[in-house]
Amino acid sequence: MDFELDDALLTLQATARRFADEEMVPHAAEWDQQGELPLPVLEKAWELGLSHTGIPEELGGVGLPVTAAVVGVEELARGCGGVTTSIISNDLALNPILLGGSDDQRKEWLGQCVEEFKILAFCLSEPGAGSDVAGLQLHCERDGDDYVLNGTKAWITNGGYADLYSVFATLDRGSRHKGMCAFVIPKGTPGLSPGRKEDKMGHRASNTTLVHFDNVRVPASQRLGAEGEGFKIAMATLDRARPQVAALAVGVARRALEESLAYVAERKAFGQPIGEFQGLQFMLADMAKNIEASRLLTAQAAWLLDAGRKSAKQSAMAKLFATDTAMDVTTDAVQIFGGNGYTKEYPVEKLMRDAKLMQIYEGTNQIQRVVIAREVAKE
Q: What is the DSSP string of 93-152?
A: HHHHHHHH--HHHIIIIIHHHHHS---EEEE--BTTBSS-GGG---EEEEETTEEEEEEE
- Fold equal for 7-115 and 231-378: no
Give the fold, CATH level 3, of 7-115: Butyryl-Coa Dehydrogenase, subunit A; domain 1 (1.10.540)
List the chain domain ranges: 7-115, 120-228, 231-378
pLDDT of 1 reads: 66
Contact between 263 and 122 under an 8 Å Cβ cutoff? The reply is no
Give the C-alpha separation, 26 to 351, whole Å.
15
What's residue 379's pLDDT?
A: 86
Q: How confident is the model over 256-273, as pLDDT tens digits?
A: 999 999 999 999 999 999
Q: Which contiguous run of DSSP H or E holds residue 224?
A: strand 223-224
Instruction: Please provide the CATH number assigned to the domain covering 231-378.
Output: 1.20.140.10
Its pTM stands at: 0.96
Half-sphere exposure of 263 (CA within 13 A, CB side): 22
User: In this structure, what are the phi and psi dihedrals at residue 158, rounded to the nearest 5 degrees?
Assistant: 70, 10
Specify whether 362 is catalytic.
yes
Taking 50 as the pLDDT cut, the residues of the chain under it are none
- 120-228 belongs to which homologous superfamily? Butyryl-CoA Dehydrogenase, subunit A, domain 2 (2.40.110.10)
Tell me how far apart the alpha carbons of residues 141 and 190 are, in angstroms, rounded to a whole number.
Answer: 16
- From 23, 126, 229, 362, active-site residue: 362
* Distance in angstroms (rounded) separating the CA atoms of residues 330 and 309: 33
The predicted-structure confidence for 163-194, as pLDDT tens digits, reads as follows: 999 999 999 888 887 899 999 999 999 999 99
- Can you give the pLDDT at residue 195? 97
